[in-house]
Structure 1
Amino acid sequence: MIETSATVVEVKPGLAWVETVRQNACGHCESAGSCGTSVLAKLFGASRSRLRIEDASGLRVGEQVVIGIPDGILVRASFVAYLIPLVFLIAAAGVATHLGAGEGRVALIGLAGLGVGLWASGRLTGGASARERYRPVLVRRGSAVEIPMPF
């Protein structure tokens, strides 16, 4: 499960809206300070994301929580968002090349394939059921992460 801390900013019966602040890169590797994501965060400042979560435990505004997304969901979302448009781009350019189109037309047909792939990705991730599938869940209250101490 991929987790992040968030602050509760609004509460309604059974629902809570939380805000996360992205200050830098993911921090999962040695080059977190110099990767592209970190550089963009430094250039454009910390971005805030407001997300809706189910609240069965009675959260309060201002409370710190930890929210998460299961790893499998993240892998599927990445597949849909990145791989499908790329496959459409390569397939369209390949078909155009096979049919004997010139370089300019192959490039344009490839871009059209990319557009179709982006549209298909949007259709696969759209709709109420898909949005619920990708919605983060409340993992625990409080933002403290327990790190085992070596003895």
Structure 2
Amino acid sequence: MIVERGTVIGPAGAGRVWVETRRRGVCGACEARSGCGIHLLGEAGGGRRNRVAVLAEAGCEPGEVVELGLREHALLLGSAMVYLVPLCGLFAGAVLALAAFGPAAEGAALVGGLLGLALGLAHTRRFARRIARDPRFQPVILRHAGVAASRDRRD
């Protein structure tokens, strides 16, 4: 389970609450920070807040600090659908067009690749709609950790 802390902002309707999390750097313990491009990118956009609608039981109050959880399976499947399916559609469409029209038909490969990409994106969109309300793919509140001492609302 992937765990993150956040602050309850308010109700989101349908048994959900809005929770605000702060993006953390991934390289806090790394010793190569000064020469690392990923660290520099994290510093440039660091501290940004994210808002997520989270499945919650009654009793979540605004300002309360909670621990969120998301199953690894949900993250891995979602990532594969968003990245791999359209990419595989792009390659499959280009290869099928080349096989059908011959290696000299670069235009056909381009069109076939774009059609495959469009089909992959359409499949991903249907998948996203299908799992939008599935509790297995939603973050949930694992634990209530108290009330936030202060809430800095500057962005």
Post-superposition CA distance 1:26-47 (Å, at most 9, x none)? x5995895364x5444334433
1:44-123 alignment runs, 5 A limit = 44-56=45-57, 58-99=59-100, 100=102, 102-123=105-126
Moved more, 53-62 or 117-126: 53-62
How many pairs does the alignment contain? 139
Contact 2:55 2:138 in 1 (8 A): no
Change (3 A) 1:42 1:111: farther
SS across alignment from 1:46: coil
Change (3 A) 1:32 1:106: farther
RMSD: 2.8
Gap runs ≥5 in structure 2 = 147-155
Q: TM-score, normalised by structure 1?
A: 0.76
SS across alignment from 2:76: helix
SS across alignment from 1:23: coil
Identity of aligned residues (%): 32
Gap runs ≥5 in structure 1 = 144-151
Which residue of structure 1 aligns with residue 10 of structure 2?
10
